[in-house]
Amino acid sequence: MATIEERYQHLEKTIRGYNISADFKQIRAAFEYAREHHGSQLRRDGTPYITHPLNVAQIIAEMRLDSESIIASLLHDCIEDTDSTYDDIAKKFGVTVADIVDGVTKLTRVHYTTMEEEQMENLRKMLFAMSKDIRVILIKIADRLHNMRTMEYQTPEKQRKKAFETMEIYAPIAHRLGMQKIKWELEDLSLKYLDPVGYEEITSALAKRSSEHQAFMDRVQEEIVAKLDELKIENTVYGRIKHPYSIYRKMYAQDKTIDEVYDLFAFRVLVNTVADCYNVLGVIHDLYKPVIGRFKDYIATPKPNMYQSLHTTVIGDEGIPFEVQIRTYDMHAIAEYGVAAHWKYKQGAQREDKEHTYEWIRRLLENQEDADAEDFIHNLKVDMFSDEVFVFTPRGDVTNLPAGATPIDFAYSVHSAVGNSMVGAKVNGRMVGFDYQLRNGDIVEILTSKNAKGPSRDWMTIAKSSEARSKIRQWFKKERRDENIANGRSAFEAELRHAGIPMSKAVAPEVLEKVLKPTNFNTLDDLYAAIGYGGYTAQKAVHRVREEVAAQSRAERAAAEAARQAAEKEQQKAEEQKAERKSRTKSEKGIIVEGLDNCLVKFAKCCTPVPGDDIVGFITRGYGVSVHRTDCPNASPERQKEEPGRWIRVSWGSDIRESYVTSLEVVCKDRSNLLVDISTALSTSKVGVAGLNVHTTSDGFAIFDLSINVTDRAQLDAVVTKLHNISSVIKVTRSVG
């Protein structure tokens, strides 16, 4: 077994392999610091504790991360498990390193007790919200990976608990960050403890046939390499058996034995250029029979986690199917280490780039494949989940609340009964004030009592969520109705006296009805109650009464006056209309028909003209003039010659309508998300969609018939250009006939 010093030398060698100018002095210092502080602590397997941080640093180095990450990973358990402090680490290794170590420590202190599916997504988000620096998450994943690798020395109970957590929280995070290799290892190690029998079944079956498998993989590899060498395509080819957990999932999801699991084998072909990728694909499909419907082009359309590759499944000579993944070396680095590879590229870059990295992660997390430009810019400015805070119930359930939320918000989010009977709150076991601002990862416990007096009015200003506030308001409305009515009534009466209005006059039915009508109150008691709980003021109510009393006496006179004015207006309008009819020579549709006054006009359905188009009119039998575009086949010169007397010159007037319906035909190569892209183009152009029909052809085309509302030709042209710019759109034409 290697000595501690040998392991450290191995770490340094790994780092030197990708970063010759790493800060080896500080890395050594961090190693010595951790060794000294962990002192004689032992791991469960009996090795000195320092082997753990060393191994975590080794994993981080294999991800090729920067010096600060290596230093922080060596120190990652110091704050939690030794007498070392944040300040001490900051003094010796800088604030950035101390912040990362502190971040990892906070994540370590989060304890998950829930097993509920719907909680998992919140837990994952919480981890991100708590890690202000992505390196915190990467070190936490490396920490978990090493702990899972050495899990055999733990109690069965702890093994299952950690395996569950890893499967549900850490493996999905690794996946989202694009870290394929680590995700697989986490899944396999988890499976080993979650279903030992199933794991054993798969690994022993694979082991039994391993020489057979190896012979098959060697043969295929040789065939591919020989062909590519012959074509002078520089390549690296290797085969692997799919990892146990992915086989396990297929076996159980499809209820199959290991022999029946489709494509147990995967081959990888790494080449230099994207062009070579497609060349290799052709070669593979030439060598082996491709399985229809299994080809996927993640180069043209990368996965949300930036994964790029060509995937195809083929059947070899022996009738054994296998998958082939084809990608460039750069794509491969991203596939294996995901965000870590990305981080490496960004190393030493400027701040903006760092923010860009966060943005990229944020989008990954939310899986916003179709985020539009405005959202994108908005998201650039905010931190990850900075508008939310994630806290635990004592049972271990995660609740998310708006940032700045207090125990009051938490209590009402559990249930209004909990909020209404709250007498105190504990956070992480300590009593706190009702205005305490909750922080990510806090465990919140609400103390309730049957004798609680209910919420107080200032809770309304302390609560951050509208949910809590409306529940508090609700309580005041209901629980104290009698008291509210009495208080409201006396306030109302006092205000009336002040205004010099007798009560009898104020509550006379014709006045009261008018006072209540514009509000939500059905009865006088409702009004009193609202005044009582503060939802309405007595001043406001009396003001209305006063207005209404005055209005009643004026009412008749005002009504007579209004009637007279209305009649006058009516007459004036009629005269105006008459004058207008005389002076204008165009129809209401914005079309001027030469020589004809005020005739019926309709737009031809075949070519749907819009303002700006060259147009011509056709006098129909029975329905006035039909307007065509001059380039409509139905208005061709030949047609016009047939019935010369019925064609008439028309032009666009100045009083065009707000919008005109017109039709477009869009021909595209079919692909996923096409409909989304087209709808987005239409909505960003601000055109209304009156109809949308799509049909696909057997040879892979999609044809959209769009019916849209536009104001004029300029807007229509803009829409056409926008549609043209969508990838895989081949042709956009205005429909005719």
- Cα–Cα distance measured from residue 108 to residue 130, given in angstroms and rounded to the nearest whole number: 11
Q: Select the span of 138-146, 274-282, 374-382, 457-465 touching Mn ion (CB under 5 A).
A: 138-146
Nearer to Mn ion, 66 or 143 (CB): 143
- Alpha carbon dihedral 425, 430, 436, 438, in 10-degree steps, equals -90
Q: Which residue is nearest to Mn ion (CB)?
A: 143
| Window 438-477: contact mask with Mn ion (x via CB under 5 A) | ----------------------------------------
Site for Mn ion in 50-79 (CB under 5 A): 77
Residue placing its CB nearer to Mn ion in the complex, 36 or 218:
36
Residue 634: both structure tokens together: 């139905």
Give the residue from 469, 486, 551 showing the smallest Cα distance to 517: 551
| Min dist. Cβ of residue 108 to Mn ion (A) | 7
Q: What tokens appear for 133 in the block?
A: 């620096």
Closest CB to Mn ion among 155 and 257? 155
CB of 142 to Mn ion, least distance (A): 9
Identify which of residues 80 and 442 has a Cβ nearer to Mn ion in the complex.
80
* Minimum CB–partner distance for residue 162 and Mn ion (Å): 12
Q: How far is CA 625 from the centre of its chain?
A: 52
- Helix, strand and coil content of the chain, in percent to the nearest 5, comes to 55, 15, 30
Give the x-and-dash track for 609-648 against Mn ion (CB under 5 A).
----------------------------------------
Least gap, CB of 62 to Mn ion (angstroms) = 17
The CB-of-226 to Mn ion minimum distance in angstroms stands at 47
**CA pair distance 148, 135, nearest whole angstrom:** 20
Per DSSP, the residues of 92-110 read: HH-HHHHHHHHHHHHHHH-
Interface segment toward Mn ion; rule CB under 5 A; list 140-148, 379-387, 425-433, 683-691: 140-148
E strand or H helix at 325, and its extent?
strand 321-328
**Which residue is listed with tokens 């909750």?**
438
Encoded one letter per residue, x for contact with Mn ion by CB under 5 A and - for no contact, window 76-95 reads -x------------------
Interface with Mn ion: number of residues (CB under 5 A): 2
User: Which residues, 6 or more positions from 492, have their beta carbon under 8 angstroms from its beta carbon?
Assistant: 527, 528, 531, 538, 541, 542
Nearest partner of 4 among 60, 50, 68, judged by Cα: 50
Which residues fall within 8 angstroms of residue 725, CB to CB, at 6 or more apart? Answer: 681
Per-residue DSSP letters for 205-262? HHHHTHHHHHHHHHHHHHHHHHHHHHTT---EEEEEEPPHHHHHHHHHHTT--GGG-S
Question: Smallest distance from the beta carbon of 163 to Mn ion, in angstroms?
Answer: 17
Contact 707, 719 (CB under 8 A): no
Applying CB under 5 A, the span of 24-32, 40-48, 139-147, 674-682 interacting with Mn ion comes to 139-147
Minimum CB separation of residue 77 from Mn ion in Å reads 5
Q: Which is nearer to Mn ion, 143 or 323 (CB)?
A: 143
Written as six digits, the tokens of 720 are 């056409």
> Footprint of Mn ion on residues 676-715 (CB under 5 A)?
none
Work out the widest C-alpha separation in the chain, in whole angstroms. 108
Residue among 148 and 220 whose Cβ is closer to Mn ion: 148
Binding flags for Mn ion, 392-411, as an x/- string (CB under 5 A): --------------------
Contact 422, 408 (CB under 8 A): yes
Map residues 340-359 to x or -, x wherever contact with Mn ion holds by CB under 5 A.
--------------------
**Residue 548 binds Mn ion (CB under 5 A):** no
Rounded to the nearest whole angstrom, what is the least distance from the CB of residue 48 to Mn ion in the complex? 14
**Which amino acid appears at position 480 of this protein?**
R
> Shortest approach of Mn ion to residue 187 CB, angstroms?
20
Which one among 143, 165, 526, 613 touches Mn ion, defined by CB under 5 A?
143
Nearer to Mn ion, 77 or 99 (CB): 77
Least distance CB 38 / Mn ion (angstroms) = 11
Using an 8 Å Cβ cutoff, are 689 and 727 in contact?
no
The rounded distance, in Å, linking the Cα atoms of 324 and 320 is 13
Pairing between β-strand 625-629 and β-strand 601-603 as defined by DSSP bridges: parallel
Sheet holding 422-427, edge to edge: 430-432, 422-427, 444-448
Q: What angle do CA 50, 52, 56 make, to 5 degrees?
A: 120
Q: Which is nearer to Mn ion, 141 or 228 (CB)?
A: 141
Answer whether 427's CB lies under 8 Å from 477's CB.
Answer: no
Query: Judged by CB, which is closer to Mn ion: 143, or 613?
Result: 143
Q: What are the backbone dihedrals phi and psi of residue 502, each rounded to the nearest 5 degrees, phi first?
A: -70, 145
The residue range among 137-145, 485-493, 499-507, 696-704 that interacts with Mn ion, by the rule CB under 5 A, is 137-145
- Do the beta carbons of residue 237 and residue 267 sit within 8 Å? yes
Residues known to be catalytic: 80-81
Which span sits near Mn ion by CB under 5 A: 32-40, 142-150, 199-207, 307-315? 142-150
Smaller CB distance to Mn ion: residue 51 or 119? 51
Per-residue 3-state assignment (H helix, E strand, C coil) for 487-548: HHHHHHHHHHHHHCCCHHHHCCHHHHHHHHCCCCCCCHHHHHHHHHHCCCCHHHHHHHHHHH
Separation CA 69–CA 138 (nearest Å):
9
> Number of H helices and number of E strands within the chain?
32, 21
Least distance in angstroms from the C-beta of 128 to Mn ion: 19
Binding segment (CB under 5 A) for Mn ion, from list 141-149, 377-385, 483-491, 628-636:
141-149
CB of 81 to Mn ion, least distance (A): 8
Task: Mark 96-135 with x for binding to Mn ion (rule: CB under 5 A) and - for no binding.
Answer: ----------------------------------------
| 77 or 187: CB nearest Mn ion | 77
How crowded is residue 349: how many other Cβ atoms within 10 Å of its Cβ?
11
| Between 82 and 519, CB nearer to Mn ion | 82
Near Mn ion in 557-586, by CB under 5 A: none
d(CA 57, CA 416): 48
The residue ranges that bind Mn ion (CB under 5 A) are 77, 143
